[in-house]
């Protein structure tokens, strides 16, 4: 994919031929974010298994992946199929498997993709065995399995210190269809508190979980080659000790206002924004009406209960300079409302004169994964000019 | 489009070959909702211009439209282009126009679509004139314009009693490129308060706005043939007096939990749901983990500050029976958490036994527009069986 069908040649973001709302991606900022992340891991001798659920684009993924064939992490089988079709052959499907998804997993593996699956329940192992009996052919090698660990009470996962861990490992090992490859965890709690020390401690908690579980599994005679951890905040604000084998993170190439709020980056690092046009104003308070509603911005409110937030996004000028007195305070499907943060009427009236109908603005997103998911293409900005489009995939 | 590519023949929602998460649409419920809406308008002698931003699907739209060619309302030019390509020729683009969008409007009109545009600002008229000078050909008829009115302080729109209304109308009339067709309003405030009397009063307010403005415009010598109002709550809970010429509403065919909360319908009327599979549980509280996160459910929290709400959605059994003690309490990208509403530990443990991994559930959405937008197809349920798929469009 090169440019949007309506564009014949590179254009500036204020080109009327560029339809708004649309998603902009600042390539230099993304490159800077990736370089910083990779340097931080390299200093610790760690390697990355980027989570491609944020970018969902091969053109973007090429810039993250260590080699064209991976390793990579995905959150849906549709992502696995898309990236496998583009040559990525080392993929971890990091959402708990259910037996109904086994047929597609096998199809991918038979076409040469080393796809690993994740589980945390003995019931799942039993059901996989039943389904595998029906689907496996002689030539099929056992499926590599990672056991999901709970390091922070956030979501699913086995207690690294509990009996259930060894029971599930034994069930996997006893299955002719499965093969234990290792353990995996994710500190989802790292997104809930804007405290750099706390997030660094959660990184340590991720590492402790996988290392403790690996030691117990190995003592019980199991292989546990993979000890996988990660999230963008824990990876960048924390450090992992020796023994951790890979780091999974997805937001770091783009960054967003949530990462700014957590202290992971500044607004100058946010590579993603939504380009929008002012379509009018609200008569009684002077608020601007823009053509980016929740359909273009997503409905993620960030961690509004935890720390400073910007409504549905932080408005910037066309060159990306934040307008910190403004915020997207309300969203309907295709309408956004930009208000003055102070609620002061005088600057609100001035706002309408400053940005009359037809003016363009950029909105920094609360959550890169959610905002990008509302769009089918990235309009890639190079030195202020849109030079190419990168397509995104979607679905399950 | 017939069935999902993975399905060769009609299937039940518990068929493992049907990938989850996916969007289900109960055709009988939708037909019931449409019939109720049309009956309610017919009793008042009103006609409908359905808003197709909710369904974004020609197969669904066919069931709403009065005739195969319309009339219809859309919220993006991409919708206008999609529906025009499917034979809908009478379309109102109900989001404020900006001059950069004029070229696409003209292309649609030249191909035979009677597309009307909406504006509320004299600056917009000036800019349209400048752009139209560049783009208009001799054969182009003037663009039909509706003036947007603000009936409730919710968003954009002119004051029906203000001087600006007549100034903008005069500017439109003075333009060789524009033609005043009428006025339009939408009571966005109807979604903010669960009070049937209040919503009925807002319907009256919509009508008062368009009728007052039309009278003033006509007194000033302008045509004002179209007096357009509507939202699903005001249309169904209120009545419109004579003089209103059309009603725009979009959610009514599907309904959602917000409409239930407002008293517009019951959970038995909600035609849309997300099919999901249980993938595990959270160890410390027994909450279920499902494979529908915000990517499948959307992040709309409903009107949680205003009235009873169900987190990110209300779980139902596979046949659509609500489980009122449960709710989707948390969402990550591809993980949802189903908790017991009471927070009681005993039923939470029972929950895991009641719905072990592999179990399927349906989730009723807070907001049909937002949840449907996360999906590319409707899986259409007829008598409990998925018999066909309807594609959705997206983008701008």
pLDDT for A303 equals 75
In this predicted structure, the answer to whether residue A344 has a pLDDT above a threshold of 70 is no
Taking alpha carbons only, the member of A101, A131, A317 closest to residue B17 is A101
pLDDT for B343 equals 58
Q: Are residues B203 and B129 in the same domain?
A: yes
Domain assignment present for B124? yes
In this predicted structure, the answer to whether residue B342 has a pLDDT above a threshold of 90 is no
Calpha distance A265→A270 (Å, rounded): 8
Under 8 Å CB pairs connecting chains A and B tally to 181
Q: Sheet of A114-119: strands edge to edge?
A: A72-74, A90-93, A114-119, A143-148, A178-184, A226-229, A246-247
A chain contacts of residue B281, beta-carbon cutoff 8 Å: 121, 156
Q: Token match 């490859």: residue? A: A181
Candidates A334, A353, A371, A378: best to mutate against B (most CBs of B within 10 A) is: A334
**Residue B45 touches chain A, beta carbons under 8 Å:** no
The per-residue pLDDT of chain A, averaged, comes to 94
C-beta atoms of B155 and A282 within 8 A: yes
Query: CATH number of the domain that A95 lies in?
Result: 3.20.20.10
Under DSSP, the state recorded for B15 is: -
Query: Which of A:363-392 have CB within 8 Å of B?
Result: 369-370, 373-376
Residue of B nearest to A376 (CA): B395
Q: Are residues B154 and B273 in the same domain?
A: no
Nearest C-alpha of chain A: how many angstroms from B197? 24
Q: With beta carbons less than 8 A apart as the criterion, state whether B178 and B187 touch.
A: no
In this predicted structure, the answer to whether residue B110 has a pLDDT above a threshold of 60 is yes
C-beta atoms of B370 and A96 within 8 A: no
What is the tens place of the pLDDT at every residue in B152-175? Answer: 988 889 999 999 999 999 999 999
Residue of B nearest to A284 (CA): B153
A chain contacts of residue B159, beta-carbon cutoff 8 Å: 283
Question: By residue range, what is the domain housing residue B174?
Answer: 49-248
**Residue A230 touches chain B, beta carbons under 8 Å:** no
Domain assignment present for B165? yes
Q: Are residues A215 and A179 in the same domain?
A: yes
Exposed, middle or buried, A176 (CB in 10 Å: 0-12/13-18/19+)?
Answer: exposed
Q: With beta carbons less than 8 A apart as the criterion, state whether A73 and A61 touch.
A: no
In this predicted structure, the answer to whether residue B267 has a pLDDT above a threshold of 70 is yes
Residue of A nearest to B334 (CA): A75
Taking alpha carbons only, the member of B191, B183, B214, B237 closest to residue B40 is B237
Strands B336-340 and B72-74: unpaired
A chain contacts of residue B127, beta-carbon cutoff 8 Å: 357-358
Domain assignment present for A206? yes
Q: Are residues A237 and A148 in the same domain?
A: yes
Q: Where residue A347 falls among pLDDT bands split at 50, 70, 90?
A: low
Structure tokens at A277: 């046009």
Query: CATH number of the domain that A309 lies in?
Result: 2.40.37.20
Q: Are residues B269 and B297 in the same domain?
A: yes
Point out the domain boundary residue: A221, A248, A275.
A248
C-beta atoms of B294 and A121 within 8 A: no
In this predicted structure, the answer to whether residue B1 has a pLDDT above a threshold of 80 is no
Domain assignment present for B147? yes
* Burial track A366-394 (b if 16+ CB lie within 10 A, e otherwise): bbbbbbbbbbbbbbbbeeeebebbbebbb
Q: Which of the residue ranges A167-171, B23-27, B84-88, B297-301 would you say has the lowest mean pLDDT?
A: B297-301
Q: Could you please report the per-residue DSSP string of B16-59?
A: TTS-SSEEEEEHHHHHHHHHHHHHHHHHTT--B--BTTTT--HH
What is the tens place of the pLDDT at every residue in A24-75? Answer: 999 999 999 999 999 999 999 999 999 999 999 999 999 999 999 999 999 9
What is the tens place of the pLDDT at every residue in B283-294? Answer: 888 899 999 999
pTM here?
Answer: 0.96
Domain assignment present for A174? yes
In this predicted structure, the answer to whether residue B2 has a pLDDT above a threshold of 90 is no
- Rg (alpha carbons) of chain A, rounded to whole number: 23
Q: What's the rounded mean pLDDT across residues A89-106? A: 97
**Residue B16 touches chain A, beta carbons under 8 Å:** yes
Q: Are residues B232 and B281 in the same domain?
A: no
**Residue A183 touches chain B, beta carbons under 8 Å:** no
Beta-bridged to residue A115, according to DSSP, are A91
Omega of the bond leading into B176 within 30 degrees of 0 (cis)? no
Q: Are residues A211 and A317 in the same domain?
A: no
The sign of the dihedral angle between the CA atoms of A167, A169, A174, A178 is positive
Domain assignment present for B3? no
pLDDT for B219 equals 98
Q: Where residue B344 falls among pLDDT bands split at 50, 70, 90?
A: low
Kindly give the residue spans of alpha helices, DSSP state H, lying in A222-314. 232-237, 257-262, 294-297
Domain assignment present for A71? yes
A234 vs B346, more confident: A234
The per-residue pLDDT of chain B, averaged, comes to 94
* Helix/strand/coil for B130: helix
User: Residues with Cβ < 8 Å from A343, sequence gap 6 or more?
Assistant: none
Q: Token match 């065919």: residue? A: B253
Of B98, B296, B337, the CB nearest to A279: B98
- Rg (alpha carbons) of chain B, rounded to whole number: 23
Q: Are residues A77 and A122 in the same domain?
A: yes
Of A99, A103, A156, the CB nearest to B280: A156
A193 vs B374, more confident: B374
Structure tokens at B305: 């500050």
Of B75, B119, B294, the CB nearest to A333: B75
Of B100, B296, B358, the CB nearest to A277: B100
Q: Are residues A83 and A173 in the same domain?
A: yes
Q: Are residues A241 and A191 in the same domain?
A: yes
What is the tens place of the pLDDT at every residue in B38-77? Answer: 999 999 999 999 999 999 999 999 999 999 999 999 999 9
pLDDT for A330 equals 93
Residue of B nearest to A15 (CA): B100
What is the tens place of the pLDDT at every residue in B180-195? Answer: 999 999 999 998 888 9
C-beta atoms of B53 and A333 within 8 A: yes
Point out the domain boundary residue: B188, B219, B248.
B248
Q: Are residues A227 and A318 in the same domain?
A: no
Q: With beta carbons less than 8 A apart as the criterion, state whether B182 and B224 touch.
A: yes
C-beta atoms of B159 and A283 within 8 A: yes
Q: Where residue A345 falls among pLDDT bands split at 50, 70, 90?
A: low
C-beta atoms of B53 and A334 within 8 A: yes
Q: What's the rounded mean pLDDT across residues B182-211? A: 94
Structure tokens at A147: 């056991």
What is the tens place of the pLDDT at every residue in A297-318? Answer: 999 988 776 656 678 999 999 9
pLDDT for B194 equals 86
pLDDT for B301 equals 87
Taking alpha carbons only, the member of B237, B175, B176 closest to residue B206 is B237
Calpha distance A168→A128 (Å, rounded): 13
Please give the helix or strand (H or E) that residue B326 lies within, else none: strand B326-331
Q: Are residues A327 and A358 in the same domain?
A: yes
A6 vs B32, more confident: B32
Domain assignment present for A11? no
Q: Where residue B268 falls among pLDDT bands split at 50, 70, 90?
A: very high
In this predicted structure, the answer to whether residue B95 has a pLDDT above a threshold of 80 is yes
Taking alpha carbons only, the member of B394, B53, B304, B370 closest to residue A299 is B370
| Count of domains observed in chain B | 2
Point out the domain boundary residue: A225, A248, A271.
A248
Q: Token match 């529906």: residue? A: B83
């Amino acid at each position: 994919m090169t440019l949007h069908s309506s564009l014949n040649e590179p254009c500036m973001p204020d080109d009327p031929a560029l339809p708004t709302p649309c998603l902009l991606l600042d390539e230099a900022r993304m490159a800077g974010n990736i370089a910083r992340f990779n340097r931080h891991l390299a200093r610790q001798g760690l390697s990355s298994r980027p989570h491609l659920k944020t970018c969902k684009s091969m053109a973007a993924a090429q810039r993250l992946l260590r080699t064209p064939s991976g390793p990579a992490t995905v959150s849906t089988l549709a992502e696995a199929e898309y990236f496998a079709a583009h040559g990525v052959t080392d993929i971890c499907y990091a959402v708990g498997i259910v037996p109904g998804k086994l047929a597609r997993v096998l199809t991918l593996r038979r076409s040469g993709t080393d796809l690993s699956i994740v589980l945390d329940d003995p019931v799942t192992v039993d059901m996989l065995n039943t389904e595998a009996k029906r689907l496996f052919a002689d030539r099929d090698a056992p499926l590599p399995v990672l056991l999901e660990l709970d390091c922070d009470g956030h979501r699913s996962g086995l207690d690294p210190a509990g009996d259930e861990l060894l029971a599930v490992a034994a069930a996997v090992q006893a299955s002719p269809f499965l093969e234990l490859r290792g353990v995996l965890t994710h500190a989802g709690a790292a997104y809930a508190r804007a405290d750099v020390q706390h997030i660094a401690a959660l990184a340590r908690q991720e590492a402790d979980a996988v290392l403790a579980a690996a030691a117990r599994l190995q003592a019980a005679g199991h292989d546990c080659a993979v000890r996988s951890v990660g999230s963008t905040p824990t990876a960048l604000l924390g450090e992992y000790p020796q023994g951790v084998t890979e780091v999974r993170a997805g937001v770091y190439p783009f960054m967003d206002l949530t990462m700014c709020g957590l202290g992971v980056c500044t607004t100058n690092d946010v590579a993603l924004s939504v380009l929008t046009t002012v379509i009018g104003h609200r008569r009684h308070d002077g608020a601007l009406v823009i053509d980016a509603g929740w359909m273009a911005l997503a409905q993620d409110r960030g961690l509004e209960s935890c720390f400073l937030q910007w409504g549905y996004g932080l408005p910037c000028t066309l060159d990306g300079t934040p307008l910190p007195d403004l915020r997207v305070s309300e969203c309907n499907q295709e309408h956004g409302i930009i208000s003055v943060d102070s609620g002061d009427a005088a600057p609100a009236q001035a706002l309408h004169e400053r940005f009359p109908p037809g003016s363009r603005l950029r909105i920094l997103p609360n959550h890169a994964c959610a905002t990008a998911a509302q769009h089918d293409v990235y309009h890639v900005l190079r030195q202020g000019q849109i030079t190419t489009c990168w397509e995104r995939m979607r679905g399950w």
